[in-house]
Structure 1
Amino acid sequence: MSIHKKMFIFIPMLVLLMSFVSYFLFNSSRNVQESYSLMMNRVLLYKQVSRESKEVMRYLNRYVIQLDAESYSDLDRHTKLLRELRDEIGRLERNKTNALQVENYLNMMDTFLDQSWELLSNMDQDSRMKAGAYIQAEQTAGFIGEDGQALVDLELEHYRPVYEDIMQANKRINELGVYLVFTVALLSFVIALWLSTSISIPIRRLVLTAKQISKGRLDTKAPELRTGDEIGILAQTFNQMLDNMQDLMAKNVQSVEKERLVKELELKMLQSQINPHFLFNTLNAIAKLAYIEGAEKTSDLTVSVSRLLRYNLQKLDHPVTLRDEVEHAMEYVAIQKARFRERIRFVTDIDGDALEQTVPCLTLQPILENAVIHGIEDMEEGAELKLGIHMEDAHITVEISDNGAGMDERNRLKLLDSLAEDAPAPHRGKRETTGLGTANVFKRLHLFYDGMQRIEIESELGEGTTVRFILPARLDVSHKGAEEVSHV
């Protein structure tokens, strides 16, 4: 549920709950007030009738007995008001307790009004007659006051249970109101707490994650939020951004590693103080001079060294084919044959269809050189060095083996572990090779094939060593040759 929906649903719900509680309390209080007002209105009505009847008698005394003509207007006003009160009492709802008393009370009021009217109509009577009529009206007014008080007592007695019920109901309503207010307040607090925590806590987690990232800890992950709202989407997007940054940095690290290895190769190739191009031209001159003088073997050896040097002078960051690598390896073997003569035998088993496979420059020669120096250099006879290249389905297998000294399990695993990014460069020992280290070749293959290659090493002490590259096929076949097996 989105944050907008949460706000739109729960906040109006809280307002409606509070409005319902307020309306309930107001309506209950109004009902109690109406019941109380009804009772008090009836009591006050009887009291007002008694008061108005006394006022009528007072102004009758002034007008009839004291002959005060100015009091007639007041007498007429109070008489009309008394008639209105009589009509209002006649419209009141009656019960079994006071029905008869109310009827007698109304008749008494009618009698009093008739007596007042008769007294006003016979103003020309003698004083004795008017005094007698006045005394009768005064007695009737007194009876009205007494009956009115009796009716008040009856009303109070009748409404006493009702009043007690009203008070009990009012008490229950107050208690229920307190419970409702407390419940709604608690519910409002819970909903407000849920809304705030569902928004603030995920945001706080994202802020903490952002702070960790700002400190350089890119392995940090934002919390997985299953809320389904905008903050959950933000957390997912945040993690996707982190993944993209990590992938980009990994690619940058690989690119920097490739550049570092290339620079290392170039530096190692240029570590000689003699200008390589000058040396290359000098070797060509020596080869031609040896050929002219009839020293053909010396000429061939010089040409091999010249070709080896020319191959090493090319750009090391450019990929080459296995065909180029095999030709370069043959030149290296020719030089070693001139050195070891019959002590070493070089065997090749090469599938011509696989020679168009692209590989990093200087892949085979460092492995062959390592096999010669560390494997078969100390053998007096029977030394054998093999190079095999085969195509199998979608893979190219390159295998270099010797029957020399071999290595123990610890060194074998150390070479295989050199593919790790933080693995230190292996120590070569006293006998340095003239080319690149084996671990360097492994790393360049790993970078070149994006980790899709497989490298295997089989070795036992005294039984020789086999290094095997299983490469994903990247063939650009311009021609195919049959399988060839040659012995050097």
Structure 2
Amino acid sequence: MNIRAKLFIFIPILVLLLNVVAFVIFQNGKIVQDSYNIMMERVLQYKQISNETSENLLFLNSYILNHDDKSYDEFIQHKEQLIELWLQLSKEEDGEFKDIQMKNYHQMVTSFLDFETAVIDSLKRDDFESYLSKYEDAERVAEFIKEDGQLMVDRELSYYQPIYNDIINYSEKINKLGIALFIVTTLLSIVFAFWMSQSISIPISRLVDKAKQISKGNLDIETEDVTKTNDEIGILGKAFHQMLKDLKHYISQHIQALENNRIVKELELKALQSQINPHFLFNTLNIISQLAYIEGAEKTSDLTVTTSNLIRYNLRKLDQPVTLKDEVEHIKEYFMIQKARFQDRVSYEYDIEERVLDQIIPSLTLQPILENAFVHGIEEKEQGGRITISMKEVDSIIQIQLSDNGNGMDENIRYKLLNFLTEEHSTSLSPTKSSTGLGTINVFKRLHLFYGEETKIEIESQPGIGTSVIFKLPKLQQMSIS
């Protein structure tokens, strides 16, 4: 059962129980109050009839003595009040107390009113003996009404006494029941609040404890104890448990990927060190021998020194980075050898900013690209060959552009070169026999391994017009491999 269902079930039950307690207590009080009002109303009616009877005699006597209109009006007013009380009592007691005592009481009130009427009539006729006799009868009946009124009050009290006692007993029982219900609802509220808080706070506390342990790097913890419930906390615990499993899986995969990457780096560097193409060395030595045959020893010596430096640079450890300044010096020596080979068929242009020469770069990055420019672009040109090298900083990015005006390449080859990370492309573009063996693909891979995802490589080429290879590298001037 989820938390929402628990709240929707138990809270209305508690509210209903509390409402029942309040209603029972209220209803019991209402019953007692109504019974008390009925009893007091009847007692007061008897008292009022007795009082009005006395008042009638008083004002009748005043009228007899004074014979004025004021006394007569007051007498008539009180007589009408007595008649109204008598009619009201008769109406309320219709069907009740139909015994001789009640009938006698009603008859006495009727007789009293009749005697008063007879007294007034006798006065109007000036019949002194008659009205005096009637007045004495009215006075005697008024005494009887007063005495019987008290008896009727006692009778009412006696009649309602057992009912009142029953109501009191019932009220006490209801009060006890109300107290019991109040105690039960209070205990249920406490138990429900404790159970609800425990069902929420304990699993959350466990989750918090697990999260703290994970934040400290401890991933070998058990999370099964937070997934046992079926409410929202249980769902959260299951999600937490699954996230921990996924985190362990992804970390394991990442560690494996890093290890594979390290192995690939080592293998590629070792492979690159053994990929120096002897064809280039053969051509170089052949040129040296021809110059030695034709010219004097000075040029041969210079060319031999240049070749020695070139070979020495090529044979250095490929896992050690160099600066762009070192690469530029190296390709200048490389150009000296190619100049001896191609003579005036090729020209070289440099556009290099001094501030970029401290940039760190893998060794033997530029020579393989330039060698491809010679082999695939310039070698077949009889004249007018041109190679341009540009190095500049643009928005904290080191941009290196190697361009030639050779034969260019078609779009298919350009696409395969740019997708160098795909294995099938890498294998389908293996170094040619006229290359040093490092090749364009290997250069691209080394740059990607060295700089990571921030490396951007672009190739612009049109058949018959030329090719430009552009490297956009993050600025890096620390002598360490990233």
- TM-score, normalization by structure 1: 0.52
Q: Which residue of 2 aligns with 1:79?
A: 79
* In 2, Cα distance between equivalents of 1:46 and 1:255: 107
2:111 alignment partner in structure 1: 111
* 2:211 counterpart of 1:224: no
Q: 1:191: how far off?
A: 2.1
Alignment partners' CA distance in 1, 2:121 and 2:115: 10
Distance, in Å, in 2 between the alignment partners of 1:39 and 1:2 is 56
Contact 2:49-2:85 at 8 Å conserved across structures: yes
Distance 1:228 1:278 in 2: 64
Alignment of 1:53-68 (within 5 A): 53-68=53-68
1:202 aligns with 2:184: no
CA distance in 1, matches of 2:90, 2:58: 25
Q: Deviations over 1:251-293 (max 9, x none)?
A: 11222233445566788x69xxxx9659997xx99xxxxxxxx
CA distance in structure 1 between the partners assigned to 2:276 and 2:125 by the alignment: 169
> Which amino acid in structure 2 is aligned with residue 76 of structure 1?
I
CA contact (8 A) 2:2 2:230 kept: yes
Contact 1:21–1:177 under 8 Å retained in 2: yes
Structure number with higher helix proportion: 2
**1:226-245 to 2 correspondence within 5 Å?**
226-245=228-247
Q: Which position in structure 2 is the counterpart of 1:43?
A: 43
Aligned position for 1:331? none
Structure 1 residues 194 and 68, CA gap change in structure 2 (3 angstroms): farther
Structure 1 counterpart of 2:165, which letter? E
* SS of structure 2 residue aligned to 1:180: helix
Query: How has the CA–CA distance of structure 1 residues 68 and 191 changed in structure 2, closer, same or farther, with 3 Å as cutoff?
Result: farther
Change (3 A) 1:189 1:276: closer
Name structure 1 gaps, 5 residues minimum: 286-312, 316-488
| Shift in CA distance, 93/278, structure 1 to aligned 2, threshold 3 Å | closer
Deviation at residue 148 of structure 1 after TM alignment: 0.4
Secondary structure of 1:226's match?
A: coil
- Could you say if the C-alpha distance between residues 189 and 279 of structure 1 is closer, same or farther in structure 2, counting changes exceeding 3 Å? closer
| 8 A Cα contact 1:221 1:242, kept in partner | no
Decide whether aligned partners of structure 1 residues 111 and 240 sit closer, same or farther in structure 2, where only a CA change above 3 A counts: same
User: Partner amino acid for 1:118?
Assistant: A
Change (3 A) 1:76 1:203: farther
Alpha-carbon offset, residue 218 of structure 1 = 2.3
Q: Is the 8 A contact 1:98 1:151 kept in 2?
A: no
State whether residues 43 and 156 of structure 2, in contact with CA within 8 Å, keep that contact through their aligned partners in structure 1: yes
For residue 144 of structure 1, give the secondary structure of its aligned residue in structure 2. Answer: helix
Secondary structure in structure 1 of the residue aligned to 2:221 = coil
Shift, 1:160, TM fit = 2.4
Question: Which residue type is aligned with residue 249 of structure 1?
Answer: I
Q: What CA deviation, in whole Å up to 9, does each residue of 1:358-409 have, x standing for no partner?
A: xxxxxxxxxxxxxxxxxxxxxxxxxxxxxxxxxxxxxxxxxxxxxxxxxxxx
Counterpart position of 1:373: none
Paired with 1:144 and 1:69, the residues of 2 have a C-alpha distance of: 28
1:16 to 1:73, Cα distance in 2 relative to 1, 3 A: farther
Q: Does the alignment pair 1:167 with 2:168?
A: yes
Tell me the distance in 2 between the aligned counterparts of 1:196 and 1:257: 48
Q: CA deviation at 1:111?
A: 0.3
Contact 1:224–1:236 under 8 Å retained in 2: yes
- Deviation string, structure 1 residues 323-347 (Cα, Å, up to 9, x no partner): xxxxxxxxxxxxxxxxxxxxxxxxx
- Cα deviation, residue 240, structure 1: 0.8
C-alpha contact 2:118 2:131 (8 A) present in aligned 1: no
Aligned to 1:257: 259
Partner letter of residue 211 of structure 2?
Answer: A
Q: 1:98 touches 1:154 (CA, 8 Å); kept in 2?
A: no
Give the distance between the partners of 2:229 and 2:147, measured in 1 at CA: 79
Structure 2 equivalent of residue 153 of structure 1: 154
The alignment partner of 1:122 has SS state of helix
The 3 A distance-change label for structure 1 pair 78 and 193 is farther
Q: Structure 1's 182 and 276: CA in aligned 2 closer, same or farther, altered over 3 A?
A: closer
Shift of the alpha carbon at 1:105? Answer: 0.3
Instruction: Give the aligned length.
Output: 282
Contact 2:17–2:181 (8 Å) recurs in 1: no
CA deviations over 1:181-213 (Å, ceiling 9, x no partner)? 111221222223222322233223222222222
Matched, 1:143 2:144: yes
Deviates further, 217-226 or 37-46: 217-226
CA distance in 1, matches of 2:273, 2:200: 69
- Equivalent position amino acid for 2:152 in 1: L
Matched residue type, 2:195: W
Deviation at 1:245, TM superposition (A): 0.7
Contact kept in structure 2, 1:206 and 1:235, CA below 8 Å: yes
| Residues 94-132 of structure 1: CA deviation (Å, up to 9, x unaligned) | 899882211100000000111122222333244744333
Alpha-carbon distance between aligned partners in 1 of 2:12 and 2:190, rounded to the nearest angstrom: 14
Match of 1:101 in 2: 101
Q: Is the 1:97–1:158 Cα contact (8 Å) retained in structure 2?
A: no
Which amino acid is the alignment partner of residue 235 of structure 1?
A: G
**Deviation string for 1:205-263 (max 9, x for gaps)?**
22222222222222234433333222211111111111111100011122223344556
Tell me the CA shift for residue 83 of structure 1: 1.5
Could you tell me the TM-score, scaled by structure 2's length? Answer: 0.52
CA gap of 1:61–1:100, structure 2 versus 1, over 3 A, is: same
**Match runs of 1:172-321 below 5 Å:** 172-222=173-223, 223-261=225-263
Distance 1:214 1:36 in 2: 74
Q: Which runs of 5+ in 2 are unaligned?
A: 283-316, 320-482
Residue identity in the other structure for 1:228: N
Contact 1:56 1:78 (8 Å CA) reproduced? yes
- Distance in 2 (alpha carbons) for counterparts of 1:148 and 1:113: 16
- Residue of structure 1 in register with 2:132 after alignment: 131
Q: How does 1:1-12 map to 2 (within 5 A)?
A: 1-12=1-12
CA contact (8 A) 1:45 1:89 kept: yes
- Offset of 1:152 from its aligned partner? 1.2
CA deviation vs aligned residue, 1:288-319 (integer Å, no higher than 9, x gap): xxxxxxxxxxxxxxxxxxxxxxxxx999xxxx
Q: Match of 2:20, as an amino acid?
A: F
Amino acid at match of 2:62: R
